[in-house]
Every structure is written in structure tokens, then in C-alpha cells.
Amino acid sequence: MNPSNTLTVAGEATRRSNVRYWILLMIFVVTTVNYADRATLSITGPAMRQEFGFDAVQMGFIFSAFSWAYVMAQIPGGWLLDRFGARRIYACSIFLWSLFTLLQGFIGVFATVGAAVTTLFVLRFAVGLAESPAFPANAKVVASWFPTAERGTASAIFNSAQYFAAVLFTPLMAWLTHALGWYHVYMWMGAFGMVLAGLWLKVVRSPATHPAVNRAELEHIRQGGGLIEMSGDGGKARAGKEPAGARWFYVKQLLSNRMLLGVYLGQYCINVLTYFFLTWFPVYLVQARGMSILKAGFVASLPAICGFLGGVLGGVISDTLLRRGHSLTMARKVPIVAGMLLSVSMVACNYVDSEWLVVGFMALAFFGKGIGALGWAVVADTAPKEVIGLAGSIFNMFGNIAGIVTPIVIGYILGATGSFNGALVFVGANALVTVISYLVIVKEIGRVELRHP
């Protein structure tokens, strides 16, 4: 029996349970649906533009609606997570964003372009509000369930769900749009998510209270640096008489930390790439490369497969470096810097005409982005243990400002030039800024210690 998988209790060897992997699978499934619901408009957009007559600038603002709300709700969402726990808040989040996704299938009842634009903007805004606790909750659950040496891989796996969403759901949504109509995409995705909310409540608990976790696994998590007793999820909550202004006191500390500011900037720039692929990439394939909606849906899944593989590989590389004795700083920075340098390759699409070369360069860029997308592992490594939800929310807030900026900037670039060339340069330049941020601004990576009011 492998001693690393056992715990000796009263002279008896007990094999360690592996409940944390089932929890990670649940996070992965939920995050896949999360990203699929964000990407519905990128697939249905061309058909909706044809039906309603949206122009490029209107589409840019509709694409950005999600992120306006998502960014605004991050700090309140993080506070809710620390106050009430990831299990309950996340279940409410899944149910609500799925409901608002379903309702988007009914905007066809509006006869005018203005009414359709306004309603779609409002519903996308509501999806952003509802999804705001999702990724901070992921980070909180991973910090609770996984020791430090496994956290990079765990974080990379749930983050790679964004690519798996494109691999699995992009062709499916493209087929639904082509065969049945764009509104079916919203109805089916919304209904599926509402069922998933109930499954989350049934499966997920904190390690300290989960009935299937044995002592061996609990000790493995605890001794490896996992924060097994999380406030709001059945663990030990922070003092109930904490001053009302305390969370703002913590926010100021987090925003004044140089290391965290560099991480925030890096995540913003990484998310410029994310939101290009979530919003304008299928439109690029249809408008700039002349593909049908159905073909674009399938072609878009190919770079996403590479992104998924890169995402998992980045976490494995990082944790392998850590286990081999390299510092946490080295283990996290090497994949991030190397991956983002690969992502710049998308600019080469401006200089080729062949479809297979375009797909190849985009696949390489997506692969690099996957390797470099370790920001959530860095959050789990650095967030003060008292306010992991809040720290993750601030990180996510900065990162998702890119969701506001990217679709609007690209919309204006298209409106001014009629070409995607400038858009690809804009996205590639942000990959380079990520490299600079981690090499110049972020110094040593380690957990932040808070002062208390």
C-alpha cells in the first residue's frame, strides 16, 4: 500500500478517500456551463443580427453588458461568499444566471430593433450579476479542498473549463442555431443550468463537514496547506461582531499590495484574449474568413481543444516545478510568461489567407493562453485566508473589466476600419503586457497577511 495514500490510526492503515476530485469535477462541470452561457451570444449573434439588424457597435455594447454587471458585483459577491459560504451562494448564482439565459430566448417578441437591443442588454447584464460569485467561489472551494502542491493543477482544470465549453457547446449551439433557430440555444442552456443548481447543493460541502471524507484525506489536505474550515460552509466563521467597515479596510490593503496589483493587471490582459474568443472570434470566422455559422461553430472548437490541453498542462507544469523544489514564484511565473508569449502568435493571422493556417495560429495562441492562465492558482496561493472570497472577487473584478473594454474596442475598430487586423494586434499586445506585468511588477509570490481593524 502506498504510504502517501494512507494514514495510520490506532495501528491500522486507512486508505485516503479522494472526495476532493469529485468536488473538482463538479466545479469543472459548473464552470463549463458558466462559460457556455456567456458565449451563447457569440454563436447566435450572426443570426440575431440578421433578424434584428444590429450593427457592429450595437453588438459590441450588447457583448459588453455581461461584464458591466459582472465587474460591478464582484466585491458584494465576494463578501456574500465569505459571509454565507460558497455552497449556498453558488447554488443561487447558477439558478439565477440560468433563468436569465432562458429568458433571452424570448426577445423575438419585440418588433423594433431598439426594444430588442435594450432587452437583450438588460438580460445579459442580469446574467453578469448572477455569475459574479462563480470564479471567486471556485477559488474558495479549491483553497479549501486542495493542498498547495495540488492547487495549480486543480485551478488549471477548473479554469480550462472555458475551453471545454467551446469544444463541447460551441458546435452544439451552432447546430441548434442552424437547425432549430437561435432561441433554442437559450432555452436549452437555461433549463440545463437550473437543474445543475440543485445538483451542486446535493454534492458540495466543505471538507470538514463532508460525510464522505475520511480522516486520512482531511489530514492530507490540512497538512498540505488546505484551508479545510471555511466560513459560511459549516466551518469556523470569523467573529460575528466584525465592524461593518472592516471589509473596506481589507479592500484598501489588497489594493495597496504591489504583488497583487501586478497579478490584477496580468489577469486583465489575459482576459482580453478570453473575451475576444468568447465574443468576436466566431464573428471573425464568419465575416473575415467567409465561413458559415455552422462551420464557424465547429472550427472554433479546434483552437478551444488546444486551449483545454494547454490549460491542464500549465497547471501540471507549475505543480511539477513546485514538487521538484522550485519556489512558488518560479513555479507559477514560468508557465504564465511562456504561455502568453505563445499567444502573441495570433497576430500572424493578419498575414495569411489559408483557413488551415488561420486555425493553426489561433490554436497555438489558445494553447499558449491555456498554459499561462494560472491566475486563479495565484489567487489561491496569495489571498489572505480570512477573506479568500473578497480577494478573489477583487482579482476577478479587475480581470473582467476586459470584458467591458474588449468587445467595445473591437466593435469600434471594425466600425472604423472594416477589418479585424487592428483587433488582432490589440489582443496580441495585451498578451505582451501580461508578460511585463509578471516579470516587472509581481515580485515574490506568497500569501498576504492582513492587518485587522
pLDDT tens figures, 22-63? 999 999 999 999 989 988 887 887 788 777 777 777 777 887
Rounded to 10°, the helix 86-103/182-203 angle is 170
Instruction: Give backbone dihedrals phi and psi of 236, rounded to 5 degrees, phi first.
Output: -85, 115
With contact defined as beta carbons under 8 Å apart, do 368 and 339 qualify?
Answer: yes
Task: Indicate the domain borders of the chain.
Answer: 18-228+245-441
Contact between 183 and 121 under an 8 Å Cβ cutoff? The reply is: no
Residues in the chain predicted with pLDDT less than 70, given as ranges, are: 1-14, 110-113, 227-247, 293-294, 297, 452-453
The confidence score (pLDDT) of residue 27 equals: 93
Q: Whose CA is closest to 430, among 365, 371, 378? A: 365
Residue appearing with cell numbers 448572477: 130
Q: Rg (Cα) of the chain, in Å, rounded?
A: 22
Greatest pairwise CA separation for the chain in angstroms = 75
pTM value surpassing 0.85: no
Give 364-401 pLDDT, tens digit per residue.
Answer: 998 999 899 888 888 888 888 777 777 888 888 898 88
Alpha carbons within 13 angstroms on the beta-carbon side of residue 267 total: 24
Beta carbons of 340 and 367 less than 8 angstroms apart: no
Which residues make Cβ contacts (< 8 Å) with residue 355, sequence separation at least 6? 289, 291, 299
Cα distances from 5 to residues 8, 215, 270, 368, in angstroms, run: 10, 12, 37, 34
Q: What DSSP string describes 70-138?
A: HHHTHHHHHHHHHHH-HHHHHHHHHHHHHHHHHHGGGGGG--SHHHHHHHHHHHHHHHHHHHTTHHHHH
What whole-number distance in Å separates Cα of residue 247 and Cα of residue 453?
9
Taking domain 18-228+245-441, whether its CATH number is 1.20.1250.20 is answered by yes
Report the 10 Å Cβ neighbour count for 240. 5
